[in-house]
Amino acid sequence: MAMNINKLIRQVQPPPITEVKSWLAGRSASAALPLLDLCQAVPNYPPEPGLISHLQKALDDPATYRYSPDEGLPDVRTDLCHWYQRHYQSAPQPDQICLTIGASQAFWLAMMCLCQPGDEVIVPLPAYFDHLMALQSYGVKPSYIPFDPDSSGLPDLAAIEQKITPRTRALLLVSPSNPTGATIPSQQLEQLLDLAQARSIVLILDETYNCFINDFSNSPPHQLFRHNNWQQHFVHVASFGKTFALTGLRCGALIGAMELIEQALKIQDSMVVCQPRPAQLALQYGCGHLDGWIEEKAQIMQQRHAAVTACFDTGIKGFELTASGSFFAWVKHPWVGLSGRQAARKLLDKAGIICLPGEAFGPGLEPYLRLAFGNIETGQMNELKLRLEGV
């Protein structure tokens, strides 16, 4: 007899990146073109050398191996506030921050503090698959807003407003979006926070890819931290994995009302205790030294984005670039009748391209694929185009 495992979890899709990468096992190395890996979004460059040597030195210090306070070391959180002040021209206070094991854990903390099983969270499609998997595992109903291919991946305020019910606890947005790459303009975010305030829900905004926004170093992604009483209705989910190219260190933060953080620390304590110190030390170094490095990498990402859009602008045999930006291209594949999974498999078998199927990002998205173009060099975009044309 099968083990009696929580049914909510059984019904959740398996991790899509693991599934897609498992297809590689059957791929014969001799027949294969070198892989173009557009699957899991991971910057293809190493962390800045100064950050690596800083951590190397820290590993000689026995203090690095100890727990920190649950919310993170006070001076790391203070330095993070300064980083926000520089990049957002406004900042949370240190006691409005809990350092977490990536943005993934920050999202779980937010969801558990704000929702109970049976509640609803509004989720425009396509949505980041791990958010959907977390909501479904916990028994929160994602209240989907269908994808409008003409929207360039931007949310529709009226459609969001219509979805609010007495069970709605939050509106969940990702900007820049995974998977469409779309960045929500600052003014629209203001309106969305106004709506959240007016309707007593919370805007949860995941900004994992913020540093790749055009001109991040000079113009803030939004001014929500200045908004009157922002902390009552706004929760910011941060990841520094892509920012400082240290996805494996698992470095994120939950930022919100002190009251929310106090409650989140109960879960933090029982779940992980704290973000590991090496991640905190890397974050602190990054906040203090790497503004210029971030700017350089953002420019590289913009060149990659320009190159990928140029490829699609001149047409690629029925593939349509529906939305794009920052790290991702959201592409409609030409094979009517094939699911995204079947299309992705075909691209791997015939073109050595590995990418994610649209349906991983929510129901009804079989015609789409997500290409994490941020993984590859500008010079490889033409190769991508040639391979897509050759399928």
Residue number, 20 or 391, with CB nearest to ligand PLP? 20
Residue number, 41 or 343, with CB nearest to ligand PLP? 41
Q: Does 181 bind ligand PLP (CB under 6 A)?
A: no
The residue count for binding ligand PLP (CB under 6 A) is: 13
CA separation for the pair 5, 285 (Å, rounded): 42
Residue number, 175 or 197, with CB nearest to ligand PLP? 175
Least Cβ distance, residue 168 to ligand PLP (angstroms): 21
Beta bridge partners of residue 37, listed in sequence order: 354
Beta bridge partners of residue 254, listed in sequence order: 98, 237
Map the footprint of ligand PLP across residues 87-106, applying CB under 6 A.
Answer: 102-104
Q: Which position among 128, 285, 312, 373 is part of the footprint of ligand PLP (CB under 6 A)? A: 128
**Contact criterion met (CB below 8 Å) for 157 and 375:** no
Least Cβ distance, residue 205 to ligand PLP (angstroms): 10
Residue number, 238 or 316, with CB nearest to ligand PLP? 238
Beta bridge partners of residue 121, listed in sequence order: 142, 170
Least Cβ distance, residue 130 to ligand PLP (angstroms): 6
Residue facing ligand PLP at closest CB distance? 102
Q: Does 247 bind ligand PLP (CB under 6 A)?
A: yes
Least Cβ distance, residue 26 to ligand PLP (angstroms): 25
Map the footprint of ligand PLP across residues 197-226, applying CB under 6 A.
Answer: 206, 208
CA separation for the pair 276, 133 (Å, rounded): 24
Q: What is the CA radius of gyration of the chain?
A: 21
Least Cβ distance, residue 239 to ligand PLP (angstroms): 3
Q: Does 241 bind ligand PLP (CB under 6 A)?
A: yes
Beta bridge partners of residue 236, listed in sequence order: 205, 255
- Provide the binding-site residues for ligand PLP, judged by CB under 6 A: 41, 102-104, 128, 174, 178, 206, 208, 239, 241, 247, 252
